[in-house]
Every structure is written in C-alpha cells, then in structure tokens.
Structure 1
Amino acid sequence: MTKPVIISCAITGSLHVPSMSPYLPITPDQIAQESIAAAEAGAAILHLHARDPQTGRPTASTDVFRAFLPRIKQATDAVVNISTGGAPGMAMDDRLAASEWASPEMTSLNMGSINVGLFPAASKIKEYRFDWEQPFLEGSRDNVFKNTFKDIEMILDRLGKGHGCRFEFECYDIGHLYNLAHFLERGLYEPPLFIQFCLGILGGIGAEIDHLLHMVRTAQRLFGTDFEWSVLAAGRHQMPMATQNILLGGNARVGLEDSLTISRGQLAHSNAQQVAKLAGIIDSLGYAVATPAQARDRLRLKGADQVRF
C-alpha cells in the first residue's frame, strides 16, 4: 500500500522579498502563527528561516529564532526543520548558528554549489517597501550559493554527528544526487534518506516531469529503496509537480518560501492555504496525509524531546 504522504511546509525562506507579497511572514509572531496554522492544516515538517522583524531581510540571528521556535514546539507536534542554507552572502558559521543553538530534529543540507538567479524578479516589482530588496535581487547575477564538499562535510559533522540531526538533502540537479552517494560511500551518513528534489530555480534543474522522473530513477539506482523523497517546485509549478510526485509514490513540500501563489496569478494568503490545498489533492487521489509521528518514524528522527528549545 502507498505510504501516507509527508507534507513539508517552508514558511518564509530567504529568497522572496517582502515587496513581492504582503502575506510573506516576517516577524517572529507571523512566523510562529503561520507555522502553527500550517501544522494544523496537515504539515508534518516545518522548514524554517528567520527574518529581521523590522526590515524583512533574512537573518541568522539566534535571538530571532529564539522568539518563535519555542512557541511552535509548544503549540504543535510538527517536526521543526531549520535551514542551513541561510541566505545569499551568509558565512557558514552564520548559516549553522541557529541549528547549533537549537539542536533540532532535522535541518536542510544543500548538496552542491549553484547559481541562484533572483534578478528576473527585480523588474516585476513596481514599488519596493525596503531599500535592501532591489540590490539583493540584482546581486544574484554575480552570486554563487556556495556548498562545497568541505562545507557539506562540516555540516554532517557539526550537526549530524554533533547533534544527532537528520537531514533534508536538497538536490537542485542530478549531480547533487551523486554528491550524496559519495558521502554515503564514505560512511558519513546512514540511511534512511530524506531527499528533496528542488525544481524550477533559475540555476538548477527545470520543473518538468521528465526531469522529476530522471531524478527519481537516478536516486533509485544510487540508493535502492531505502530513501524517502519529496519535491518542491518554484512558483506556479508548485502544485502540479507536487501532484506528479505523489502519484510516483513520493512526498511534497509547499509554502511561501517556494511559491507565493495558490493558483496561477493569485497570491496565497497563507502557508496553511497551500497546505490545505495539497492535503485536499492527496485525499482526492485516495492517499492519506502523514502525521508528525509517522514522519518521525520513517525518517528515524531523535524526537522533539531531544531538542534544546
């Protein structure tokens, strides 16, 4: 029988800027409220970044994470998954600071360096709320999202070995799957794997069914059957690719980090709206939505009682 579908929800991210949507959560209160509502709508995993509450700019400040992580844990049983990707321009120590303070059950781990092209969005924004936004987007013309082999080894050691964290392995292209296989061959991580196929980011693999199939089949050749996979797709591709992946036997990620819309041309009013829509699709296909307990069991997480927040 098909296993229940694990829904992840990426609440705010670090690539969208506030001027793109008035519904993008910025403050700790907004991030906490959005996270709790997303969990109530069916998200088993909450993928979290932080933002400066005054400007909306992505931040690595542990003080900001401290302002919302305990509230989320107290109000929901969802798995907290802290990003180690941070934001463009962040040093690695900054990217890991929140996770090393919080010692969460799960963090993200990007499996290779890529170009991340945000600059096409700059020309579509007619009025900016904050003066940092346009330079931030335009700066992506000459920025590399750095994730070297040394960086990945460091995260596996500091968070995996050091804190018992499990990882959402974010793969933006086929080569990232081979990078992951390399680290498994060296014995630096033990299955089961949770692989997130990231589609539709300018600089990574496109959001097309042929590419998704190629990534799934490649992962099956490399890792056999001892892995869980999910898909996130940027922008308007979010729901179609999530649906395709569910039909392939996988899981799915939604959230305002990945797409600001609920349907073509219509802004989503909340993360919970996207989660509820996906949960409805899952139900209509005859599948079940996984609970946090089921996600913890399948991904062999250490448990919410083992975190520090």
Structure 2
Amino acid sequence: MQRAEKVIISTAVTGSVNVPSQSEYLPLSAEQVVASSVEAARAGSAIIHLHARHPDGRPAFEAAVFEEIIPAILTQVDVVINMSTGGSSQMTMEERLAGATRFSPELASLNMGSMNFVYSGIADRVTNWKHEWEKPYVQATYTHPFINSFDKIEYVLRELGEKGGTRFEFECYDIGHLYTLAYFVDKGLVRPPFLIQGVFGILGGIGADHANLTHMVTIADKLFGDDYQFSAFAAGRDQFQFATHSAWLGGHVRVGLEDSLWIGKGRLAESNAQQVSKIRGVVEDLGRDIATPVDARRVLGLKGLASMTI
C-alpha cells in the first residue's frame, strides 16, 4: 500500500440499505441529497459516494434522478463524484449502471464478488414504519443474494473504464475479493493506481474485527505492492473505530449515513457533515492532513471533472 500523504475522506450520503423509518435525518429527495453532499464537501470530504432515492426513500436508478443531483452539487462545490454501480441487490445490472453510464463519472464503486448481503435485521429493530415498501424490502435480503459475477464485473470495467475513463473504488467485502481484483489486474482491465475499499461488518461479508482489517492490508500488500491506495469502513457502530484504524495504517477513510446512522452511542447523526467533521478531527489528531479534491484526483489518477458528461 502506498502510505497516503494526505487522507481522503469519502462520504456515502444515503446508500440503499438504511430506510426512512430508521432516521429522520437520512437524505431522501434529490434536494436533500444535494444539500447533504454540499455540506459534507464543505466539511472536508473530497469524494461524495452517490446513490439516488425517490422522495419516499425507495432506491432509484433512473438517470433522470441523478440529473437532479449531480449538476446541482457541482455548481456549488468542487468534489469528486463517485457513483455507485451496486445500486441495490434488487436491481438489474442495466439499472445499476443507468446513472453512471449517463454521467461517465471520475470514480465509480465496483463490488468485487457475489455474496449474501443481509440487512433484514432492520425489520427486528423498527416498530413504526413510515412506508409500506420498507419492511418487505429489507426482509428480502435474507433470501436473495447480491450477484456480482465475473462477467458482470468485467462488463462494468469495460463499459465505464475502457470506454469512459472512469476509475474505480473496488469494494472488497472479503479476502477472496482481493484475489478477484488480482485476476482482473492480471487480465489488464485494472491498472494502477487503484483504490481498494475494505468493507467490514456486513452480514454475509467479513466481520468487523480489527484483525480482519490488518489481514486485508497484509494480503493486499502481497498481491499489489505499492500499486494501490487503501480505505476502510465498517457498518454501524464500528464506523469510526475502523476509519481511525485505516487512517492509522496510512490509508483513507469513509463515513456517511449509508454506512451508519449514528454519531455516538445512542445518538443519531443529524447530517453527513457531522460525521465528516468528527472523522476529520480524529485524522488531524493523528497528525495527518486532509486531502482536497485536487489531491484525490492526483493520487487516484482520475480524469477530472471536465471529462464527465454533465
């Protein structure tokens, strides 16, 4: 791993896992996602990881929804847009790529393997549902795997990477996903520098154990040497511990209401910017500087805003 000169903060502002009934602060409408993204960027986030939702909170894939979000963010702040190609496990691949195909972003997330991606436990914790779609949606993850087969991974790499120059945040939910990434590196479809995002604490993936984070970096070093940058996050209550650990190891960090709705024990985060400000303070207390969007583009070899189709 290349030890980062400056720490890149990524913010996952809304995602497709948490549902409106869990928190009144989760951004849902395009206007809310825009406002939350702008606030996070101004607080120090160099990268905004974007999903889209309909106003009632249902995950959205339509390019038209992203058209209400991305230009509005970029007219207010300079920030790297990282669009999800995961979307939701209940979307088709064409739906998952609709927004990214339309915008050809600087960066896009790419899940590196099929897996059980289970968050049905939300249904056990919510007693008052705001919308009828929410409970069946989360319960369905107990019976339906998240498919990211090799042909689908290659399709994304070719459609967005080869054709559009988009680079990727490679989301690795287990050690085997690193070896999948190595396969595509050997095939010539992934070239350095690249960003590995270790994901911990998702039921069906690697657990939120700090030994797992250290082990993931060890194996990534063995496979990729200095050709990659590393970042890590954990879902839920372990969010800030894992971000701190990643920064301490020389990597980058990710926060956001997609990953955790909390700012502290028993306290809901009131905004994405609140989480950004908290992790920024932690990183700076470790004696490390915060990367700007310009820094992030240089370190990750991104193509720049001018190459997006806005």
Report the TM-score range of the alignment, normalised by the length of the smaller protein: over 0.9
Q: Which of the numbers 24, 41, 44 marks the counterpart of 1:42?
A: 44
CA RMSD between the two structures: 0.8
Partner of 1:21: 23
**CA positional deviation for 1:2:** 5.5
SS in 1 for 2:276: helix
Partner of 1:280: 281
Q: Residues 4 and 252 of structure 2 are in contact (CA less than 8 Å); yes or no, is this contact kept in structure 1?
A: no
SS in 1 for 2:75: helix
Partner of 1:297: 298
Following the alignment from structure 2 to structure 1, what is the Cα–Cα distance between the partners of residues 243 and 64?
34
**CA positional deviation for 1:102:** 0.7
Following the alignment from structure 1 to structure 2, what is the Cα–Cα distance between the partners of residues 47 and 14?
12
The ranges of structure 1 where at least 4 consecutive aligned residues each deviate by more than 6 angstroms after the TM superposition are none
Give deviations 1:220-265, integer Å, cap 9, x for gaps: 0000011101001100100011101111111010000000000111
**CA positional deviation for 1:68:** 1.0
- Give matches, 1:33-112, under 5 Å: 33-53=35-55, 55-112=56-113
Partner of 1:30: 32
- Give matches, 1:206-245, under 5 Å: 206-245=207-246
Give deviations 1:54-108, integer Å, cap 9, x for gaps: x210010111110011011111111000000011210000000100101110100
Where does the alignment leave 5 or more consecutive residues of structure 2 unmatched?
none
**CA positional deviation for 1:119:** 1.1
Partner of 1:161: 162
Following the alignment from structure 1 to structure 2, what is the Cα–Cα distance between the partners of residues 250 and 104?
23
TM-score (norm 2): 0.98
Number of residue-to-residue matches in the alignment: 308
**CA positional deviation for 1:122:** 0.4
Q: Residues 4 and 229 of structure 2 are in contact (CA less than 8 Å); yes or no, is this contact kept in structure 1?
A: no
Following the alignment from structure 2 to structure 1, what is the Cα–Cα distance between the partners of residues 141 and 265?
25
SS in 2 for 1:47: strand
**CA positional deviation for 1:193:** 1.1
SS in 2 for 1:194: strand
TM-score (norm 1): 0.99
- Give matches, 1:129-208, under 5 Å: 129-208=130-209
Q: Residues 49 and 82 of structure 2 are in contact (CA less than 8 Å); yes or no, is this contact kept in structure 1?
A: yes
Give deviations 1:153-192, integer Å, cap 9, x for gaps: 0000000011100000000000000000000001111111
Q: Residues 4 and 251 of structure 2 are in contact (CA less than 8 Å); yes or no, is this contact kept in structure 1?
A: no
Q: Residues 38 and 272 of structure 1 are in contact (CA less than 8 Å); yes or no, is this contact kept in structure 2?
A: yes
Following the alignment from structure 1 to structure 2, what is the Cα–Cα distance between the partners of residues 52 and 69?
15
